[in-house]
């Protein structure tokens, strides 16, 4: 397996990522390649860029106290309003000071509903992509047709944090063209004992490596090519049931509120 980050020009709102990728590939895509795309540029292509001064804060957003770790999020009430609008669920008291807003967005626990203030012009916020699963499917189809490929995948990545661990790692928020979860249940370990629970998060593992290669600051490498990865390519579309389960089955379920733990 070989991974290559792709440097591009600064990507603007509504710009075609397919064209950007075409223009910056040194050679045409080949079979058994997964194209990784950072979620931020997917959102930019979709026009998911908000100018904070144009956001009218609700009464709840206006009451929120300043966030200790969000000094760059001026004006704060407008940023909080975006979080309230975009999050599927907010897990912290929005009127209490804290580092960030812990939220649920598209079945992913993420800070600030995935809204980001970095690598966008001052005074703007880039939102979480709209339906990254469908975007990955459509982008893959463009690649498949244009380059006449069969075994090609697309992986939309974002950064997230793990409980009690410092630093960010990559996570898959949408993918197409390959099997993203591989079950090891029933396989034997080195002592011949059958595994009962183990499933390999293939897409998340690849996303972690891709995000590491693409970087987090001024690299301008929003794409990464994973060549000849040890995955099963497929035309089957992934489903939420393959990637998520109800909170009550989660390892961290004891930390959740009763209301969230019993939700589906």
Name the architecture of domain 1-46+129-264: 2-Layer Sandwich (3.30)
Helices (H), the chain: 17-24, 39-45, 59-62, 76-86, 132-147, 202-214, 240-243, 258-261
- The gap from C-alpha 187 to its chain's centroid, in whole angstroms, comes to 30
Alpha-carbon torsion, ordered 104, 107, 109, 114, to 10 deg: -70
Domain boundaries, the chain: 1-46+129-264, 49-128
> For residue 94, is pLDDT > 70?
no
**Among 37-46, 51-60, 253-262, where is mean pLDDT lowest?**
253-262
In this predicted structure, what is the pLDDT of residue 106?
Answer: 92
- Say which residue, 7 or 242, is predicted with more confidence: 7
Residue 72 scores a pLDDT above 60: no
As a whole number, mean pLDDT of residues 115-125 equals 90
> How much is the pLDDT for 67?
58
pLDDT above 70: residue 120: yes
- Per-residue pLDDT at 62: 80
Q: Which pLDDT score is estimated for 87? A: 95
Residue 130: name the closest of 52, 50, 72 by CA: 50
Q: Does residue 66 have a pLDDT over 70?
A: no
- Asked if the model's pLDDT at residue 251 lies above 90, the reply is no
Give residue-wise pLDDT tens across range 196-234. 989 999 999 999 999 999 998 888 999 999 999 999 999
SS3 231: coil
Q: What is the mean pLDDT of the chain?
A: 90
* CA-only gyration radius of the chain, Å: 20
Q: How confident is the model at residue 95 (pLDDT cuts 50, 70, 90)?
A: low
For residue 61 the two structure tokens come to 């957003």
The residue that leads in pLDDT, 232 or 262, is 232
Contact partners, residue 76, CB within 8 Å, separation at least 6:
64, 66, 67, 70
**Topology adopted by domain 49-128:** CofE-like fold (3.90.1660)
Q: Residue 1 corresponds to which tokens in the numbers above?
A: 């397996």
Higher pLDDT, 108 or 139: 139
| pTM for this predicted structure | 0.91
Structure tokens at 36: 């990784």
**Residue with the larger pLDDT of the pair 74 and 122:** 122
| Overall average pLDDT of the 105-123 stretch | 90
Report the share of the chain in percent with pLDDT over 70.
92
CB distance 154 to 136 below 8 Å: yes
- Can you spell out the DSSP letters for 172-213? EEEEESB--EEE-TT-B-TTSPBPSS-EEEHHHHHHHHHHHH
Query: Fold identical between 1-46+129-264 and 49-128?
Result: no
Contact 73, 193 (CB under 8 A): no
Report yes or no: 78 and 52 within 8 Å, Cβ to Cβ. Answer: yes
C-alpha pair distances (Å), 145 with each of 132, 152, 248: 20, 11, 42
């Amino acid at each position: 397996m070989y991974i290559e980050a792709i440097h591009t020009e600064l990507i603007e709102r509504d710009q075609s990522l397919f064209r950007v990728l075409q223009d910056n590939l040194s050679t045409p895509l080949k079979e058994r390649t997964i194209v990784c795309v950072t979620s931020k540029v997917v959102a930019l292509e979709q026009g998911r860029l908000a100018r904070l001064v144009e956001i009218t804060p609700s009464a709840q957003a206006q009451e929120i106290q300043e966030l200790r770790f969000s000094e760059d999020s001026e004006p704060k009430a407008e940023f909080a309003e975006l979080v309230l609008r975009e999050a599927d669920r907010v897990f912290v008291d929005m009127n209490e000071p804290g580092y960030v807003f812990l939220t649920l967005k598209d079945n992913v626990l993420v800070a600030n509903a995935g809204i980001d203030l970095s690598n966008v012009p001052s005074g703007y916020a880039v939102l979480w992509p709209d339906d990254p699963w469908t975007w990955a499917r459509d982008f893959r189809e463009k690649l498949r047709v244009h380059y006449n490929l069969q075994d090609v995948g697309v992986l939309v990545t974002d950064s997230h944090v793990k409980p009690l661990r410092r630093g960010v790692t990559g996570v898959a928020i949408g993918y197409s063209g390959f099997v993203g979860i591989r079950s090891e249940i029933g396989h034997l370990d080195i002592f011949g004992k059958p595994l009962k629970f183990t499933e390999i998060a293939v897409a998340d593992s690849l996303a972690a490596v891709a995000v590491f290669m693409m970087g987090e600051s001024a690299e301008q490498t929003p794409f990464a090519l994973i060549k000849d990865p040890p995955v099963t390519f497929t035309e089957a579309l992934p489903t939420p049931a393959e990637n998520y389960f109800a909170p009550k089955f989660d390892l961290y379920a004891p930390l959740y509120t009763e209301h969230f733990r019993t939700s589906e």
